[in-house]
């Protein structure tokens, strides 16, 4: 079944769900497989390689080896069956998260390094056969060029995928040895399916929208199941998430650079924040600095002053419209407040996520400093507790307890202590699993006084073999350092004080 009418109604929605249920029960629903197997990963090796890596001048040979190592982890980890990861040209609009371009393409990009036009109409097939694993890339681009770019030896035309899967399901019921030399890929797939579970791991949307037109790859999933009801479709996230959770050298190097660039943007933007400019203008400085350094936005930058300036109207965002709403407003900065930024540059598709606070007059008032120090105390205590084996819930409870003890601030703390960061600002990962070396996360909490100041802090941290690496520690966070930062001019002062409209030079 393909997409719904754009004029989606609740009644049509129920009908759609009912149809979906009956199709699923007739043809075999998406199932869960056995637990993924362990795969080779060593944080010490990866972090050393990251330190030696120059992300501004990537070595193509090294990059091909990095993507090959990722595919090897999938081969080691997949418990049975095969995996087919489609490239995804378009995100569905989202309910929960801010839209990031190419976000749904991240699994494909993670395994191939291909994005944008290079990944248009493409799919990666991974078969962990015992007598020799196979990796096949179907592309609508030039197979020779894609072969060179990825280092994948078996690159085929996208149209060939239909033929390969047709032959595989023709023959897998009774795998025919006569086919192995003629059609090695379908034969390997058929053999894999006839010797174990008939499972295919495929990439479902990470951010589903049931009321929107279906992603185009769903048609292929449905056809496969229609012709081969014994085939079990499984969510590739079962295998991919544990791999994406543990960051390799390239991930780690990109995350560090993303944090550096974010720090640069925050320092420039905060220094400029003063009455006479608007919150939006501060946001634009941060975003400019990111783009100047070759990064993009991991998510829309928020720059907001509290106590909330009277001119700012808080709008309720209708569901599904979150992608279109600016998180900063065209309202003037008012003396006496604190500027809050929640922001993260994304460098080569690895996002950071940082929050900082600074007084727009250059000095915290004694009351502001007291509240700020409470939030800082929580932040340092939680980061200090991060080590292998630590649990998300323990960190969360620790934050709530200290916020409570510091003045009953826990009642205004409405979210959770943090999230994984990676290709996605809110990256994939298991929040029940004890922490492992190589995980990267954002720790966020704060004191939000109703009608008063919001003192929220957020940092990026990597779990190491022995504890943690507070990657964003150098972005001013001690109150004295924050004040010092605010007493130094921004490089943008000259630009920001130019008259508007600009004079025409003849
Ligand atoms: Mn965050």
Q: Which pLDDT belongs to residue 415?
A: 87
Share of the chain above pLDDT 70, in %: 90
Q: Can you tell me the mean pLDDT for 190-200? A: 91
Q: Which pLDDT belongs to residue 477?
A: 98
Query: In DSSP terms, which residues pair with 125 in a beta bridge?
Result: 84, 136
Q: Can you tell me the mean pLDDT for 31-43? A: 92
415 alpha carbon to ligand 1 midpoint, in Å? 10
Q: How far apart are CA 278 and CA 304, in angstroms?
A: 9
Q: Which pLDDT belongs to residue 318?
A: 60
Count of all residues that appear for the chain in the document: 506
5-9, 160-164, 416-420, 473-477: segment of lowest average pLDDT: 5-9
What is the per-residue pLDDT across 207-217, written as a single tens digit (0 to 9) for each?
A: 888 988 999 99
Residue 456's nearest CA partner among 438, 470, 444, 473 is 444
463 alpha carbon to ligand 1 midpoint, in Å? 17
51 alpha carbon to ligand 1 midpoint, in Å? 25
Domains present along the chain, CATH in parentheses = 60-245 (3.40.350.10), 249-492 (3.90.230.10)
What is the per-residue pLDDT across 208-263, written as a single tens digit (0 to 9) for each?
A: 889 889 999 999 999 999 999 999 999 999 999 999 999 999 999 999 999 999 99
140 alpha carbon to ligand 1 midpoint, in Å? 36
Output 320 or 173, whichever has higher pLDDT.
173
Q: Does position 322 have pLDDT exceeding 60, yes or no?
A: no
Q: Which pLDDT belongs to residue 327?
A: 74
3-state DSSP assignment of residue 171: helix
Q: Which pLDDT belongs to residue 499?
A: 67
Strands 134-139 and 123-127: antiparallel
Q: Does position 12 have pLDDT exceeding 80, yes or no?
A: no
Q: Does position 180 have pLDDT exceeding 90, yes or no?
A: no
Strands 134-139 and 296-297: unpaired
16 alpha carbon to ligand 1 midpoint, in Å? 34
Angle, in degrees to the nearest 10, between helices 10-27 and 217-227: 40
Burial 481-497 (b: 16+ CB within 10 A, else e): ebbebbeeebebeeeee
Q: Name, in order, each residue with C-beta under 8 angstroms of 130's C-beta and a sequence gap of 6 or more.
A: none
260 alpha carbon to ligand 1 midpoint, in Å? 17
Q: Does position 29 have pLDDT exceeding 80, yes or no?
A: no
- Long-range CB contact pairs, 52-55, < 8 A, 24+: 53/249, 53/250, 53/253, 55/250, 55/253, 55/254, 55/257, 55/347, 55/348
Q: Does position 9 have pLDDT exceeding 70, yes or no?
A: no
Q: Does position 23 have pLDDT exceeding 60, yes or no?
A: no
pLDDT band at 298 (very low <50, low <70, confident <90, very high): very high
pLDDT band at 469 (very low <50, low <70, confident <90, very high): very high
What is the per-residue pLDDT across 370-382, written as a single tens digit (0 to 9) for each?
A: 999 999 999 999 9
Output 324 or 259, whichever has higher pLDDT.
259
The reply to whether omega before 435 is within 30° of 0 (cis) is no
Q: Which pLDDT belongs to residue 30?
A: 62
106 alpha carbon to ligand 1 midpoint, in Å? 19
The reply to whether omega before 201 is within 30° of 0 (cis) is no
Q: Does position 84 have pLDDT exceeding 90, yes or no?
A: yes
20-34, 188-202, 277-291, 394-408: segment of lowest average pLDDT: 20-34
452 alpha carbon to ligand 1 midpoint, in Å? 22
What is the per-residue pLDDT across 120-144, written as a single tens digit (0 to 9) for each?
A: 999 999 999 888 899 999 999 999 9
Q: Does position 321 have pLDDT exceeding 70, yes or no?
A: no
pLDDT band at 100 (very low <50, low <70, confident <90, very high): confident
Sign for the CA dihedral angle at 30, 32, 38, 44 comes to positive
483 alpha carbon to ligand 1 midpoint, in Å? 24
Residue 171's nearest CA partner among 152, 198, 146, 144 is 198
Structure tokens at 1: 């079944």
Q: Does position 19 have pLDDT exceeding 90, yes or no?
A: no
354 alpha carbon to ligand 1 midpoint, in Å? 7
Q: Does position 5 have pLDDT exceeding 80, yes or no?
A: no
12 alpha carbon to ligand 1 midpoint, in Å? 36
Share of the chain above pLDDT 90, in %: 75
Q: Does position 172 have pLDDT exceeding 90, yes or no?
A: no
Tell me the average pLDDT of the chain: 89
């Amino acid at each position: 079944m393909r997409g719904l009418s754009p004029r989606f109604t609740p009644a049509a929605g129920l009908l759609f769900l009912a149809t979906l249920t009956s199709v699923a029960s007739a043809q075999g629903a998406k199932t869960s497989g056995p637990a993924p197997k362990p795969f080779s990963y060593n944080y010490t090796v990866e972090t050393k390689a990251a330190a030696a890596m120059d992300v501004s001048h990537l070595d193509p040979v090294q990059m091909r080896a990095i993507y090959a190592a990722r595919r090897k982890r999938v081969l080691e980890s997949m418990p049975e069956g095969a995996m087919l990861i489609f490239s995804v040209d378009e995100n569905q609009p989202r309910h929960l998260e801010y839209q990031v371009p190419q976000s749904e393409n991240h699994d494909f990009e993670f395994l191939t390094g291909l994005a944008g036009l290079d990944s248009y109409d493409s799919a990666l097939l991974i078969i962990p056969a015992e007598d020799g694993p196979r990796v096949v890339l179907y592309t609508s681009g030039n197979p020779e060029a894609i072969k060179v770019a990825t280092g994948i030896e078996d690159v085929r035309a996208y149209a060939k995928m239909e033929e390969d899967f047709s032959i595989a399901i023709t023959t897998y019921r009774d795998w025919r040895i006569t086919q192995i030399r003629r059609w090695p890929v379908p034969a390997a797939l058929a053999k894999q399916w006839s010797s174990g579970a008939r499972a295919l791991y495929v990439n479902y949307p990470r951010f589903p929208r049931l009321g929107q037109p279906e992603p185009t790859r769903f048609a292929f999933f449905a056809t496969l199941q229609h012709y081969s009801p014994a085939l079990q479709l499984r969510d590739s996230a079962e295998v991919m998430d544990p791999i994406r959770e543990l960051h390799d050298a390239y991930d780690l190097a990109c995350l560090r650079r993303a944090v550096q660039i974010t720090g640069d943007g925050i320092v420039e933007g905060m220094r400029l924040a003063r009455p006479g400019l608007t919150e939006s203008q501060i946001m634009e400085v941060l975003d400019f600095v990111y783009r100047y350094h070759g990064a993009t936005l991991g998510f829309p930058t928020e720059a907001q002053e509290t106590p909330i300036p009277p001119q700012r109207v808080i709008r309720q965002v209708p569901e599904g419209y979150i992608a279109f709403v600016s998180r900063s407003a065209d309202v003037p900065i008012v003396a006496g407040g604190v500027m809050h930024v929640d922001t993260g540059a994304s460098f080569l598709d690895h996002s950071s996520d940082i929050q900082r606070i600074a007084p727009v007059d250059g000095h915290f008032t004694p009351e502001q400093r007291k509240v700020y120090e409470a939030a800082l105390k929580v932040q340092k205590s939680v980061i200090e507790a991060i080590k292998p084996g630590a649990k998300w819930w323990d960190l969360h409870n620790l934050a709530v307890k200290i916020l409570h003890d510091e003045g009953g601030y826990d009642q205004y703390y409405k979210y959770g202590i943090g999230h994984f960061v990676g290709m996605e600002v809110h990256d994939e990962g298991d929040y029940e699993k004890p922490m492992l070396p190589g995980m990267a996360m954002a720790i966020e909490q704060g004191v939000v006084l109703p009608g008063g100041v919001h003192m929220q802090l957020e940092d990026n941290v990597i779990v190491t073999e022995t504890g943690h690496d507070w990657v964003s520690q150098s972005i001013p966070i001690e109150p004295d350092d924050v004040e010092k930062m605010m007493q130094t001019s921004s490089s943008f002062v000259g630009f920001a004080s130019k008259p508007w409209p600009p004079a025409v030079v003849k």
